[in-house]
Structure 1
Amino acid sequence: MPKIPAMTTYDAHPMHDRVVLITGGAQGVGRGIAQAVLGAGGSVMIGDLDKEAGAACLQEWQVGDRAAFRQLDVSRESSVRRWVDAALARFGRIDGLVNNAGIADPLREPLHTLPLEKWNRYINTNLTGAFLCSKYTLPALNKANGAIINIASTRALQSEPDTEAYAASKGGLVALTHAMAVSVGPSVRVNAILPGWIVTDAWQKPQKRHTPKLSRIDHQQHPAGRVGTPEDIGALAVYLLSSAAGFVTGQHFVVDGGMTVKMQYA
């Protein structure tokens, strides 16, 4: 007879002894993910263009040598290479990468007047940046049987008018995710998170931090009954980075309070 399936003990610290690199990790969703990893017992190397925000994170977290920061421009290959090298020098290993850095503004501009320079800026930062960071962390991730998360957007699935550059960059991340999952598996798993409306006002550097102004309608239009927070993304990120998600790869997960499944006729 087959053995009785064992009862798995819940791991309260699924990131224990794991090192996760997070781009754009000093503010907003990136900071939410970093704090979730730290709360789950892991260590983080955050990269961000904003040095003040990075320094504020380390000062406020007070987690000692479990957190480090280095300024990072994901659109520049040399910057990415130095950032990854610094992480390996500091921690000696890389177990996870979260490609979160990107231009958040959807940029509403008609396609027929959109300058090529602006189009390239979105693609280079939001999409090429994820490629570069994945490229340089992959050798270490292979050794660790690690995981990559690409932070895309629900705008990869639905759009407002005149947002082609942003939508294309986020849609590209979803395609990059399943392509990489096939190429780098089984040693490395790759998934994407597609956030909806996530309020990050309270997750900025201290001088820009404020309480968000949200109406009852803002919350009620979501089937979940509220607007999202960085903790919502961080919780899923920890799962996808952990061994509990060992059978999950090549997927994209929408975290939007149910908005993309809600019929919205005017």
Structure 2
Amino acid sequence: MPPRPRAVPSFLRPAAADPAPLRGRVVLVTGGAQGIGRGIAQAVLAAGGRVLVGDVDVEAGRACLDEWQAGDAAAFQRLDVGREASVQRFVTGALRRFGRIDGLVNNAGIADPHTGPLERLDLREWRRRLGVNLDGAFLCAKHALPALRQAPAGGAIVNVASTRALQSEPDTEAYAASKGGLLAFTHALAISAGPEVRVNAISPGWVATDGWRKPATRRSPKLSRADHAQHPAGRVGTPEDIGALAAFLLSPKAGFISGENFVADGGMVRRMQYL
């Protein structure tokens, strides 16, 4: 008689993957109608969550809802993160529509990093960059925190920074300062908001967003072999890459992670380059 097979210990059995780790959760995504923000919003929906997209571009926001056909799981509201009254209406609208807030993704920002030589940079432009990229995250967190603290399984905030907080090109001081400030804001808020709310950051590198714009401006990205080859991962990033990471950080799977910055750039910040 052949010997009976031994039972595999439970800790050696692979855990079943949850196809919907954000099921029942409500996530606010600022700047969520195009680009990386849209990738994050779609990842939330794919993970079973519900999403309220906030964006200054109403046309882009409505296009998202038309294309997603997600029913009550997705909604759009115009949002200017640089104006506190607009942020208050956004948070109130989320609570009125969904009754709860479980996650916040601070993605809205001025994307163009170049402002010219510092000695010619106008103070108003400097303040505008910080006012949108950094003040916007502060305002959204400020007004969403009371609801996030009440989230049944704990709240989560993801701040979208940039690898430009860690390395720079010339004439990008205002952008770099805003994203560097966002990283400091992330770890400070993680200490203040825990344990009810976890706070983390993602710093994307080169992400091709041309195909993630509103229909009127959407196009295929023009990328060369050299563009892809310079990345240790072998390619330029996509909004899906950042969306997958954001969905993880918003989910219970990341329950022991807070105050961290996750660089998603295909390995570029680790590559030494000399002229």
**Offset, 1:261:** 0.2
Aligned-pair Cα RMSD in Å: 1.1
Residue in structure 1 matched with residue 213 of structure 2 by the alignment: 204
Tell whether 2:148 aligns with 1:138: no
Residue in structure 2 matched with residue 242 of structure 1 by the alignment: 251
Tell whether 2:18 aligns with 1:11: yes
Tell whether 2:70 aligns with 1:55: no
SS of 2:220's equivalent in the other structure is: coil
1:47 and 1:70 in contact (8 A); partners too: yes
SS of 2:242's equivalent in the other structure is: helix
For structure 2, the 5+ residue unaligned runs are 1-8
Tell whether 2:140 aligns with 1:96: no
Residue in structure 2 matched with residue 164 of structure 1 by the alignment: 173
- Deviations 1:216-258 (CA, angstroms, capped at 9, x unpaired): 0000000000000000000000100000000000000000000
The AA in structure 2 aligned to 1:258 is G
Tell whether 2:164 aligns with 1:122: no
Residue in structure 2 matched with residue 147 of structure 1 by the alignment: 156
1:103 and 1:126 in contact (8 A); partners too: yes
SS of 1:52's equivalent in the other structure is: helix
**Offset, 1:4:** 6.3
**How far apart are the structure 2 equivalents of 1:188 and 1:42?**
18
1:99 and 1:151 in contact (8 A); partners too: yes
**How far apart are the structure 1 equivalents of 2:115 and 2:123?**
14
1:108 and 1:161 in contact (8 A); partners too: no
Bigger Rg, structure 1 or 2: 2
Tell whether 2:34 aligns with 1:27: yes
**Offset, 1:162:** 1.1
**How far apart are the structure 2 equivalents of 1:69 and 1:205?**
14
Q: Percent identity, aligned pairs only?
A: 67
Residue in structure 2 matched with residue 45 of structure 1 by the alignment: 52
Residue in structure 2 matched with residue 221 of structure 1 by the alignment: 230
SS of 1:233's equivalent in the other structure is: helix
**How far apart are the structure 2 equivalents of 1:136 and 1:193?**
21
SS of 2:178's equivalent in the other structure is: helix
1:74 and 1:101 in contact (8 A); partners too: yes
**Offset, 1:191:** 0.1
**How far apart are the structure 1 equivalents of 2:10 and 2:228?**
46
2:37 and 2:107 in contact (8 A); partners too: yes
**How far apart are the structure 2 equivalents of 1:213 and 1:109?**
25
List 4+ stretches of structure 1 deviating above 3 A. Answer: 3-8
The AA in structure 2 aligned to 1:27 is Q
The AA in structure 2 aligned to 1:196 is G
**Offset, 1:112:** 1.0
TM-score by length of structure 1 reads: 0.98
- Deviations 1:135-180 (CA, angstroms, capped at 9, x unpaired): 0000110011110000000000000111100000000000000000
**Offset, 1:5:** 4.2
Task: Map 1:67-82 to 2 at 5 A.
Answer: 67-82=74-89
1:202 and 1:211 in contact (8 A); partners too: yes
**Offset, 1:6:** 8.1
**How far apart are the structure 2 equivalents of 1:32 and 1:87?**
20
